[in-house]
Amino acid sequence: MATYSHEVLHNFAQSVFKKIGCSPEDAKIASDTLLSADLRGVDSHGVARLSGYIRLWEKGRINPTPAIKIVHETPSTAVVDGDAGLGLVVAPYAMQVAIEKAKIAGTGWVAVKNSNHYGIAGYHAMKALSHDMIGMSMTNASPLVSPTFSKERLLGTNPIAVAIPADEEPAFVGDFATTTAANGKLEILQRKGEEAPEGWVQDKEGEVTTDAFGVKKGGALRPLGGDKSHGSHKGYILGSIVDIFSAVLSGANYGPWAPPFVSFMDPVSDPVGEGLGHFLGAMRVDAFRPADEFKSNMDKWIRRFKNSEPIDPEQKVLIPGDPEREMESIRMKDGIPLLGAVEKDLSELSEKFDIPFN
Amino acid sequence: MATYSHEVLHNFAQSVFKKIGCSPEDAKIASDTLLSADLRGVDSHGVARLSGYIRLWEKGRINPTPAIKIVHETPSTAVVDGDAGLGLVVAPYAMQVAIEKAKIAGTGWVAVKNSNHYGIAGYHAMKALSHDMIGMSMTNASPLVSPTFSKERLLGTNPIAVAIPADEEPAFVGDFATTTAANGKLEILQRKGEEAPEGWVQDKEGEVTTDAFGVKKGGALRPLGGDKSHGSHKGYILGSIVDIFSAVLSGANYGPWAPPFVSFMDPVSDPVGEGLGHFLGAMRVDAFRPADEFKSNMDKWIRRFKNSEPIDPEQKVLIPGDPEREMESIRMKDGIPLLGAVEKDLSELSEKFDIPFN
């Protein structure tokens, strides 16, 4: 596993996005979004996906020069049409709209249609932090998840991210798939040849399986909880809320109609909306109480939880966002390790577009 | 187990609330909220709790004549001070504020401090439905839940409810504790003398236990997911978000400082805010797209999910809210069954306040 600096990978991604026709500004925004995943340790959503975006562009499913626009609005809401652009660019636009609304109305909520995969949810939510706002971000995704009691794949891994500012402590940043485990975790087990814990996957008959390839064999991921007695109906509710807020509110494709990320699967022939959907929100902290009061109480909250008595003295209680922030500071300094398969992917892009890599 | 009509129990609760000094209007509102739990089958949160509220009043922890008021607001937000009133009355007031804000600003978000237990989360969220709005409701609660890796009880069961209107189909109503199982489910196992599934409870050393009395013996409920490999860090994030939105945003007591519901435990001597907190929201559907378009797409969503292929032909896929709505129509017709212990409780209240019961 070779290691690359953030700068090298960022420059490479930027050049690739420019080659498919993105403006320099959009290529930078897309690369910022994409690389935030590599930095934060969410390897499945970073440059490992770059060739996937390019294949979608080759299929005509990504518009490199979208006219992203607000198609409806009220003081605290908007619907943004992404014009089939990269979600990596559309979502930052929409998050900015949410922030501007929040400045005036106290909160801003933006539903997005006609978009594509937007990278990691947490990146968009975190944009609110520097404005002393709470940020929220969710997206629907390719159907891979079965509702409790169903054999069919009707939902995506539909992540939710919430970023909450503190004062002296780093921000609270929750960012999680609404399944027991994200698909990226399964891929790690597949590479290692290991089994999945019970509750992650069901086979094509809907029975629990520990086969890490279960989803590829026609099965499905299970909603957070894993089975009914462990609360999978709650994970199903969460995934559904993300789907409805992101796609039914905006006019995107929802549930099993959501367009697949992989280019070898065509979108459904009977769409119920346009593209993929996101839902982004910003709440000004001082729309509720003075920001310094709120943030010093967040410090107190964070310290109380972080210093609570651990079960195992070797494993301290974590604050959401801590592991990713630590990873980011390590990778900014030491670089980003890439698997051989990802290096090969990037080398192929390098040849295809005549951009030096490595 | 004897059965009582909704009317009988509602009248009884109303009389009890009037006896402690509530106005006739507040006594009705509190009884509407309380009985909605019995009707929807959430027996732990209905008249079974009536004597608990009265004991808090006896301790001076509930103000029967609160001056509930907005203490801060922006176009889309407000903070409500519940003046130590019944959450059963304070939350409906705050939800109405959220709805009025949404009429003008598109959405309304109300954080509540200085309140008490507010009944079932779903009842408040559902208030938005008749306005063609999406309703949201959450509350913090007595600390009974340990974050992943912690021995200590730092969070409540902190429920989240989201109610989404449809057209011909009944509304989608998700309402769930952010733990693997709600405390009421444990109480059922305790009465039956049965063990709890793994992942519900940890003992006082923090180890997983199947002892249904584990929490009473100094252990804790586990966040949704049950353990790290099944995603309990996600349940911990969800419970934390509810705690922060309900109590840090509003200025209520958060985390382990949240006041206990039981009257035999005193609130902490070093409060970090006032009373318990809630967070209520309303989003006008047509702040995003025309309401009829949204609602007919919700019908399509609901029908697709409800009719998806089940794993077991005997167990159809459920839409969140279906079981509770069916229970409500049965109990409205056939009455509400009460356990002997609850009947005894109500008989004691009947004697204490000289109100006929049974």
Nearest chain A residue (CA) to B79? A288
**Contact state of A297 with B250 under an 8 Å Cβ cutoff:** no
Q: Which of A225, A251, A315 sits opposite B149 (nearest CB)?
A: A315
Q: How confident is the model at residue A332 (pLDDT cuts 50, 70, 90)?
A: very high
- B chain contacts of residue A255, beta-carbon cutoff 8 Å: 301, 304-305
CATH class of B66-179+230-296: alpha beta
Q: Which of A72, A105, A255 sits opposite B75 (nearest CB)?
A: A105
What pLDDT does residue A1 have?
79
Contact B179, B142 (CB under 8 A): no
The answer to whether B1-65+334-358 and B181-221 have equal CATH topology is no
Nearest chain B residue (CA) to A312? B149
Q: Is the pLDDT of residue A142 over 80?
A: yes
What CATH architecture applies to the domain A181-221?
A: 2-Layer Sandwich (3.30)
**Contact state of A226 with B224 under an 8 Å Cβ cutoff:** no
Question: Which CATH number is associated with domain B1-65+334-358?
Answer: 1.10.1530.10
What pLDDT does residue A311 have?
98
* Backbone dihedral angles phi then psi of residue B62, each to the nearest 5 degrees: -125, 130
Q: Is the pLDDT of residue B358 over 80?
A: no
Among A180-184, A306-310, A316-320, B325-329, the minimum mean pLDDT is found in A180-184
**Contact state of B305 with A148 under an 8 Å Cβ cutoff:** no
Q: How confident is the model at residue B30 (pLDDT cuts 50, 70, 90)?
A: very high
What pLDDT does residue B81 have?
98
Q: pLDDT > 90: what percent of chain B?
A: 96
What pLDDT does residue A263 have?
86
The span from the CA of B347 to the CA of A243, in Å, is 47
What pLDDT does residue A245 have?
99
Angle between helices A24-40 and A6-19 (to 10 degrees): 140
CB atoms near residue A227 (< 10 Å): 18
- The mean predicted confidence, pLDDT, of chain B is 97
Pick the closest to residue B221 from B239, B253, B252, B199 (CA basis): B199
**Contact state of B301 with A249 under an 8 Å Cβ cutoff:** no
Q: Is the pLDDT of residue A358 over 90?
A: no
Q: Is the pLDDT of residue A25 over 80?
A: yes
Alpha helices in chain B (DSSP H): 6-19, 24-40, 50-58, 87-105, 121-126, 183-192, 232-243, 291-306, 322-334, 340-353
Find residue B225's DSSP bridge partners: none
Q: Residue A335: left if φ>0, alpha if ψ -120 to 50, beta else—which one?
A: left
Pick the closest to residue A153 from A141, A166, A137 (CA basis): A141
Contact B182, B158 (CB under 8 A): no
Q: Is the pLDDT of residue A324 over 90?
A: yes
- Quick: pLDDT tens for A274-314: 999 999 999 999 999 999 999 999 999 999 999 999 999 99
Nearest chain B residue (CA) to A231? B180
- B chain contacts of residue A293, beta-carbon cutoff 8 Å: 251
Question: Which CATH number is associated with domain A66-177+230-290?
Answer: 3.30.1370.60
**Contact state of B237 with A205 under an 8 Å Cβ cutoff:** no
What pLDDT does residue B346 have?
97
The mean per-residue pLDDT over the stretch A114-125 comes to: 98
Q: How many angstroms separate the Cα of B156 from the Cα of each of A309, B230, B241?
A: 17, 20, 12
> Tokens in use for A344?
């090969």
- Nearest chain A CA: its distance from B38 CA (Å): 21
- Quick: pLDDT tens for A194-230: 999 999 999 999 999 999 999 999 999 999 999 999 9
Among A113-117, A221-225, A260-264, B206-210, the minimum mean pLDDT is found in A260-264
**CATH 1.10.1530.10 for the A1-65+324-358 domain, yes or no:** yes
Task: Work out whether strand B160-164 and strand B133-139 pair parallel, antiparallel, or are unpaired.
Answer: antiparallel
Q: How many angstroms separate the Cα of A253 from the Cα of each of A73, A351, B27, B293, B296?
A: 20, 35, 46, 14, 14
Q: pLDDT > 70: what percent of chain A?
A: 100
Rounded to a whole number of angstroms, the CA Rg of chain B reads: 20
The span from the CA of B275 to the CA of B141, in Å, is 10
Distance of CA B156 to the CA centre of its chain: 11
The residue extents of the domains of chain B are: 1-65+334-358, 66-179+230-296, 181-221
What pLDDT does residue B200 have?
96
Residue A9 is inside which H or E element, if any?
helix A6-19
Nearest chain B residue (CA) to A273? B297
How many residues are recorded in chain B? 358
Q: How confident is the model at residue B191 (pLDDT cuts 50, 70, 90)?
A: confident
What pLDDT does residue B138 have?
98
- The mean predicted confidence, pLDDT, of chain A is 97
Q: Which of B150, B310, B311 sits opposite A317 (nearest CB)?
A: B150
Contact B263, B59 (CB under 8 A): yes
